[in-house]
Structure 1
Amino acid sequence: MNTHSSTLSKLAKSAAIVLLATIFGNSIGLLAEVIIARSLPPSVYGEITLAYTIVFSLGTISLLGVHQGITRQISAAEAGKRQIQILYAGFSLVLLSAVVAIGGLYLSRGWIANFMSADYVYEYLLLLSPFLIVYPLSRAALATLRAQKRTLPAVIAQHIGGRGIAFTSLLLFIIGGREFSGAIVYWIVGPLFALVIALYFIVTSELLRSPFETPPDKKTVRKLWDFSWPLAIGSGIFLLLNRVDILMIGYFLPSNQVGYYRAVQPLKKIATFALGSFTFLFLPVATEYYTEGDTDGLDQIFTITTKWILLITLPPVLLFALFSPDVIKILFGDNYLPAAPVLTILSAGLLFRAVSGLDGDMVKAIDRPRIELFSGALGLLSNIILNFLLIPTFEISGAAIATVSGYIIYNGVELIWIYHLTGGSPFSVNIAKHIGVMSVLAILVSGILPSPVGLVGLIAVGISLTLLQPVVLILTSSVDEADLDLVRQIESKTGKNLEIVKKIVKKGV
């Protein structure tokens, strides 16, 4: 097996670990959101989530893109002392920015409340302000683990420890009859303990054996900032692209509409959760390929990881898009049924984001972070314009259409640049064939089954779509050599005889 196959095997192994942890963490997160939404009236839920959206947006902007710079710069650095300097420089920048963000929020919260015509925001922003310290620092710590390719410690910190402790805290408050306070605590405790656990792994690693011998210098800070500032603007643009819909719904519509729309936000992550599983290791690996000048290898891992992301993502996306009323009713109850069309639009539309692959990490790996800035600006501008045009007429469904359109423009422009610079693309004929056949089959199933299908019916459809995937891959000859290499890697590492599996898989090559 060649080096590319070995790299893909490592990516698959890392993605499997992250995927399992992501499923666990996102399941807890979804359950927490369901509990919060069910325990509060839609109007109150809309109020508190609008305030959280504002704070989350400011917290992400205050990262300044430094967390991505940490991952990229440490991955490219060879000397241990140099890596420590980058680590210290990154944490210093993030901490300074977080302090400024808290001060800015405190001074501007009255203006924000007046602009949104929402007096409750004044108090809620203050309650959520600790998030502005713990969240940016936690992202910087997780970025360090990512640069070290320490997948397991990272998922323990973020998805198991942070989410698990936050969920436990929420349950304790719910049991005590303090649902509103429980929501506040849940959103702050998660990143707090993710930070604590990640710092433990960093401090006990070889990277910080002699931390005081290598203080950061101005050159390191300047180089990190030069790489990060386009990403800082890009992250702000991406964040607004992801959150401007809620902010504009809060501006145009009553708080209960915010509650309906916000309820489906955790569900729309189903379209991109597999993307996050692969992106953890993809950036440092892709950086190494590009640094070594191996563009063929870079293109190969770009295309095949996109296909694997699609295989994981497609069944739940089709399920959520075609059976959205049943999903909403089961999770949130009849009060949130107005959100069903939003779930359909977001699930189906954001599938393009999964199919576009790891384009954001690709532009960082090839050291072109300003591409993300340019692409994101176009996507955000179109999103804002469409929100202004569509929300007054189509309400929350219009916001969903605007969000999907913004992502398509953002990812599309980025992919054009990547192809121009490297010749690489995440698309392939095999991917197109698989999406087409699976979509037709899912639509036929949704047309045949009576409505509502209920919880058991949803589970049965989801399992059926998942089991259909390998059959469709083989019947449409959509299997790649890299898929077969992965089976060989599994056979080699487990010691199991998978000759029958390999013969079946070969028929689809």
Structure 2
Amino acid sequence: MDETGKALQKVARGMGIVLAGTVISMLLTFLSRAIIARHFDRYQYGSFTLTLTVLSIAVTISLLGLQSGLPREISRNLKGKREEVPALITTGLLMAVTASLIMTAVTLYMAPHIAPLLNDRYLGETLRLAAPALPFMVMTALLVAVSRGYGRVRENLYYRNVLPPLLFLIILVTGLLTGAGFTFVFLAYVLSQVLSSALLVRESLSLGFLPRRPILDWRIARELFLFSLPLMLTGILDYVMGWTDSLMLGYYFDPDTVGLYNGAAPIARLLPLFLNSMGFLYMPIATAFFTNGDIDGLRKLYRTTTRWVFILTFPVFLFVFAFPESAINLFFGSKYTDAATALRILSAGFMFHVMMGLNGMSLIAVGEPRANMTGNIFASAANVALNVLLILVYGIEGAAVATSVSYVTANLYRTWWLHRKTGIHPFGRNYIKVLAPGLGLTVAMTAMGVRDNLLTAIPVTVAGYLVYLATILGLRTVEVEDIELLDAIESKTGVKLGPVKRLLSRFLSDE
């Protein structure tokens, strides 16, 4: 087995763990949001969404891009300058925690000024209640980034994916059952973040990731800051792309409209689930390929992961795009189904993001983080301009168009720049044979006008996906790496996959 095959197996094994954690996290988060959406009115749910949006922007600024820059630098130093790793870790943590304390103070001060801008009578109070969670969220994100630099996924699974949303759900439900009001939601959120962060600090100390005595190295701080600054700006622009719609709906309308829109937006954001899970271990491995000058290995890694991600994501997209009312009703209830058209538009934009693969992480791996930032600048400018032009005319559908266009813009730029830098792009012949039937089936099922309710939506989606799988097998899109992956799963789990491997072997690509 060549190095690319081994790398793909490692990514896939990591993806399995990260995917499990991400699925659990999303389900717990969805459950919490659904409880809040159903227990309180749409205005209050919109206010909750706006509060977390502002808080998330503050967290992104506080992280200084270190959640992406730190794992890359740890991975590099472990190979050549291992003695610098403790200083690297504690310097990065001190930088981010200091920034988070400053942003907490800024958020507390600005809360009463932000509330009238977004026409939200609750926001002044809820932001002040939620702001103390900020340093703990930053600490958790950075310690998970440290473990990622060591090639570990356990900390991400337990302390970021599972524990915070689980604790929030438990505390939230307990409070609501005892008659707690709307403001308790934010106290529950803060407490869940504090407990999760404290447990992760304890775990990191026991694993030896955190030195007992902090080391602040100004040279390392400068290097980290210069490398991570574009990543921070990219992260801020990601939030502009992802959350300007909610903020501007609050500005032009009110939290009730924001609440309606967020009956659709969280569902569309489920689509990059497999993409994000695959990416957790992708970047350190892609960096190793590039550092060793193995561009062909990097190309193979990028194309194969992109193909896997599309195939895994497609049934979710098919269900959401063809049956948007069923998807909304399943999670948030009938009072949010007016957002069905917005969900269809958003799902198209997020699926395009999935189709283009891990282009952003590939750019970081090849030392081009500024290209991500540039692409996000174009996309964010388009997002803001289109929101201004479309929201007053088309409401939540206009906001959905603005967000989708911004994701398309960012991904086109990133893919173009990656190809310009390395000659790599995702569109191999096998991938085209995977894409075309899927997109064709989506158009056909939507045009058929099948009744949009769960009793028909689920079986029709399952049948459509089976037809799709049969089609891509018939087009011979299976590659050697797919069989090698099944070998690795078989040896690791003990599950006998011989019949599956023999079946796939009959449809190996000629490429």
Q: Which TM-score band (shorter chain)? A: over 0.9
Q: SS at 2:63's partner residue?
A: coil
Q: Is the 8 A contact 2:119 2:255 kept in 1?
A: no
How far the C-alpha of 1:342 sits from its partner, in A, is: 1.3
Q: Is the 8 A contact 2:129 2:187 kept in 1?
A: no
Q: Tell me the equivalent position of 1:474.
A: 473
1:353 and 2:374 aligned: no
* 1:129 partner amino acid: A
C-alpha distance in structure 2 between counterparts of 1:8 and 1:176, whole Å: 49
Aligned pairs for 1:47-196 within 5 A = 47-78=47-78, 79-196=81-198
C-alpha distance in structure 2 between counterparts of 1:494 and 1:450, whole Å: 40
Residues 26-85 of structure 1 deviation map (CA, whole Å, 9 limit, x = unaligned): 111111111110111112211232222112212222211122111111111124431111
Residues 333-380 of structure 1 deviation map (CA, whole Å, 9 limit, x = unaligned): 221111111111111221011111111211111111111111110000
Q: SS at 1:263's partner residue?
A: coil
How far the C-alpha of 1:391 sits from its partner, in A, is: 0.4
CA shift in 2, pair 1:182/1:435, >3 Å: farther
C-alpha distance in structure 2 between counterparts of 1:458 and 1:189, whole Å: 39
C-alpha distance in structure 2 between counterparts of 1:72 and 1:359, whole Å: 16
Q: SS at 1:178's partner residue?
A: coil
Q: Is the 8 A contact 1:64 1:94 kept in 2?
A: yes
Residues 441-487 of structure 1 deviation map (CA, whole Å, 9 limit, x = unaligned): 34544555752432x44443444345445423211222222212222
CA shift in 2, pair 1:204/1:402, >3 Å: same
CA shift in 2, pair 1:200/1:461, >3 Å: farther
Q: SS at 1:348's partner residue?
A: helix
C-alpha distance in structure 1 between counterparts of 2:50 and 2:389, whole Å: 21
Q: SS at 2:269's partner residue?
A: helix
C-alpha distance in structure 2 between counterparts of 1:119 and 1:391, whole Å: 21
How far the C-alpha of 1:256 sits from its partner, in A, is: 1.2
Aligned pairs for 1:52-451 within 5 A = 52-78=52-78, 79-208=81-210, 211-212=212-213, 215-445=215-445, 450-451=450-451
C-alpha distance in structure 1 between counterparts of 2:85 and 2:224, whole Å: 11
Q: Tell me the equivalent position of 1:8.
A: 8
Q: Tell me the equivalent position of 1:25.
A: 25
Residues 267-317 of structure 1 deviation map (CA, whole Å, 9 limit, x = unaligned): 122211111111110111111111111111111111111111112111101
More moved, 428-437 vs 293-302: 428-437
C-alpha distance in structure 2 between counterparts of 1:322 and 1:420, whole Å: 36
How far the C-alpha of 1:237 sits from its partner, in A, is: 0.9
C-alpha distance in structure 1 between counterparts of 2:492 and 2:363, whole Å: 33
Using structure 1 for the length normalisation, give the TM-score: 0.94
Q: Is the 8 A contact 1:270 1:347 kept in 2?
A: no
Q: Is the 8 A contact 2:66 2:142 kept in 1?
A: yes
Runs of 4+ in structure 1 off by over 6 angstroms are none
Q: Is the 8 A contact 2:126 2:183 kept in 1?
A: no
Q: CA RMSD in A?
A: 2.0
C-alpha distance in structure 1 between counterparts of 2:452 and 2:232, whole Å: 45
Residues 233-258 of structure 1 deviation map (CA, whole Å, 9 limit, x = unaligned): 11111111111110111111132111
| Structure 2, unpaired ranges of 5+ | none
Q: How high is the sequence identity, in percent, across the aligned residues? A: 27
Instruction: Give the total of aligned pairs.
Output: 506
Q: Is the 8 A contact 1:378 1:409 kept in 2?
A: yes
Residues 175-211 of structure 1 deviation map (CA, whole Å, 9 limit, x = unaligned): 1122523431453344434423432332122444x54
How far the C-alpha of 1:494 sits from its partner, in A, is: 4.9
C-alpha distance in structure 2 between counterparts of 1:100 and 1:53, whole Å: 18
1:484 and 2:486 aligned: no
Q: SS at 1:270's partner residue?
A: coil
How far the C-alpha of 1:326 sits from its partner, in A, is: 1.5
C-alpha distance in structure 2 between counterparts of 1:49 and 1:177, whole Å: 22
C-alpha distance in structure 2 between counterparts of 1:268 and 1:136, whole Å: 26
Q: Is the 8 A contact 2:451 2:457 kept in 1?
A: no
C-alpha distance in structure 2 between counterparts of 1:354 and 1:394, whole Å: 26
C-alpha distance in structure 2 between counterparts of 1:464 and 1:80, whole Å: 53
How far the C-alpha of 1:132 sits from its partner, in A, is: 1.9
CA shift in 2, pair 1:30/1:500, >3 Å: same
C-alpha distance in structure 2 between counterparts of 1:254 and 1:60, whole Å: 25
How far the C-alpha of 1:94 sits from its partner, in A, is: 0.8
Q: Is the 8 A contact 1:438 1:472 kept in 2?
A: no
C-alpha distance in structure 2 between counterparts of 1:2 and 1:114, whole Å: 59
C-alpha distance in structure 2 between counterparts of 1:506 and 1:148, whole Å: 35
Q: Is the 8 A contact 2:271 2:351 kept in 1?
A: yes
Q: Is the 8 A contact 1:84 1:211 kept in 2?
A: no
How far the C-alpha of 1:504 sits from its partner, in A, is: 1.9
More moved, 419-428 vs 369-378: 419-428
More moved, 324-333 vs 435-444: 435-444
CA shift in 2, pair 1:207/1:121, >3 Å: closer
C-alpha distance in structure 2 between counterparts of 1:271 and 1:392, whole Å: 27
C-alpha distance in structure 2 between counterparts of 1:92 and 1:284, whole Å: 23
Q: SS at 2:275's partner residue?
A: helix
* 1:477 partner amino acid: R
* 1:404 partner amino acid: S
C-alpha distance in structure 2 between counterparts of 1:330 and 1:19, whole Å: 22
Q: SS at 1:129's partner residue?
A: helix
Q: Is the 8 A contact 2:437 2:468 kept in 1?
A: no
Q: Is the 8 A contact 1:491 1:497 kept in 2?
A: yes
C-alpha distance in structure 2 between counterparts of 1:409 and 1:219, whole Å: 36
Using structure 2 for the length normalisation, give the TM-score: 0.94
Q: Is the 8 A contact 1:346 1:401 kept in 2?
A: yes
